[in-house]
């Protein structure tokens, strides 16, 4: 495979979270002990390469490292070890609760999000009307995002990412949020976007049907490690077998 054909290269990716262990405030004050730091390794040595124009799905139970890996690809988390190379491609992350300033209006967040994605003010202005129409949240577009329901947040986030098209799209469970009509509209728009032979997409979803229909390849994560990587039918079948209740 030629280097120009590669959109994403991940090598030996490790990501850890740091937090305070549970402790007694009274005991801590009396003994003047330093609070102990607890380190949780969310991603443990993941490596993969994704060809330009391919659609990759992440599957695995909660806490397996799927969303953490996606946020690392988006540049939100920095690797503790290993490398991520996007080969100069522009990237956008579509995820609830990520990327919006809650005190700003939806309209203001369109411009903020667009500029963070690398678009000029003029480029965003040219797409402004299309974004607002696709989001279809009425006058709420001019109200602070902190007043939005999760469904409205999802609609605006999807509209911005779908209309301001980047080379790589990262999608975290957003297709399962919103009312029935918007789900259908966003699903159809997503299929239209990923039909572009040059656009690369990474999807995190608990919907195995969605992964099976949309993805060219699937990466199964388990407890932070890569359990299996391959064709959707093979990986999903193995995952479903693994997840079956074990007979005692």
Quote the pLDDT of residue 83.
97
Q: What is the pLDDT of residue 231?
A: 97
Q: Where are the domains of the chain?
A: 3-243
Size of the chain, expressed as the number of residues it contains: 248
The whole-model pTM stands at: 0.80
Buried b (16+ CB within 10 A) or exposed e, 93-104: bbbbebbbeeee
Per-residue pLDDT of the chain (248 residues; tens, 9 = 90+): 556 799 999 999 999 987 655 555 555 555 545 556 678 899 999 999 999 999 999 999 999 999 999 999 999 899 999 999 999 999 988 776 566 899 999 999 999 999 988 899 999 999 999 999 999 999 999 999 999 988 888 889 888 888 888 899 898 876 655 677 877 887 788 778 777 778 899 999 888 998 999 899 999 999 999 999 999 999 999 999 999 887 65
Do 209 and 176 touch, CB atoms closer than 8 A? no
Residue 14: the pLDDT is 97
pLDDT in the model for residue 95: 73
Q: What is the pLDDT of residue 198?
A: 82
Superfamily for domain range 3-243: P-loop containing nucleotide triphosphate hydrolases (3.40.50.300)
Joined together, the tokens standing for residue 173 give 């469970």
Question: Which positions ≥6 away from 31 have C-beta within 8 Å?
Answer: none
Helix pair 150-163, 121-135: axis angle to 10 deg: 130
């Amino acid at each position: 495979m030629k280097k120009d054909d590669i959109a994403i290269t991940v090598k030996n990716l490790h990501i850890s979270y740091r937090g305070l262990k549970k402790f007694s405030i009274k005991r801590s004050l009396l003994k003047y002990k330093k609070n102990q730091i607890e380190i949780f390794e969310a991603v443990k040595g993941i490596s993969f390469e994704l060809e330009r124009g391919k659609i990759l799905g992440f599957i695995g139970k909660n806490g397996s490292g799927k969303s953490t890996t996606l946020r690392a690809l988006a540049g939100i988390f920095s690797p503790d070890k290993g490398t991520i190379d996007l080969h100069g491609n522009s990237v956008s992350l579509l995820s609830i609760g990520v990327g919006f300033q809650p005190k700003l209006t939806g309209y203001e967040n369109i411009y903020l999000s667009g500029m963070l994605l690398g678009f000029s003010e003029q480029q965003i202005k040219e797409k402004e009307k299309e974004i607002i129409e696709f989001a279809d949240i009425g006058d709420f577009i001019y109200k602070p995002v902190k007043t939005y329901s999760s469904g409205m947040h999802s609609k605006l986030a999807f509209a911005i990412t779908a209309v301001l098209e980047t080379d790589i799209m990262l999608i975290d469970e957003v297709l399962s949020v919103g009312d029935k009509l918007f789900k259908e509209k966003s699903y159809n728009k997503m299929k239209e976007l990923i039909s572009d032979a040059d656009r690369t997409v990474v999807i995190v979803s608990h919907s195995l049907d969605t992964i099976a229909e949309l993805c060219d390849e699937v990466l199964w994560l388990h407890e932070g490690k890569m359990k299996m990587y391959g064709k959707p039918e093979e990986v999903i079948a193995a995952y479903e077998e693994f997840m079956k209740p074990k007979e005692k």
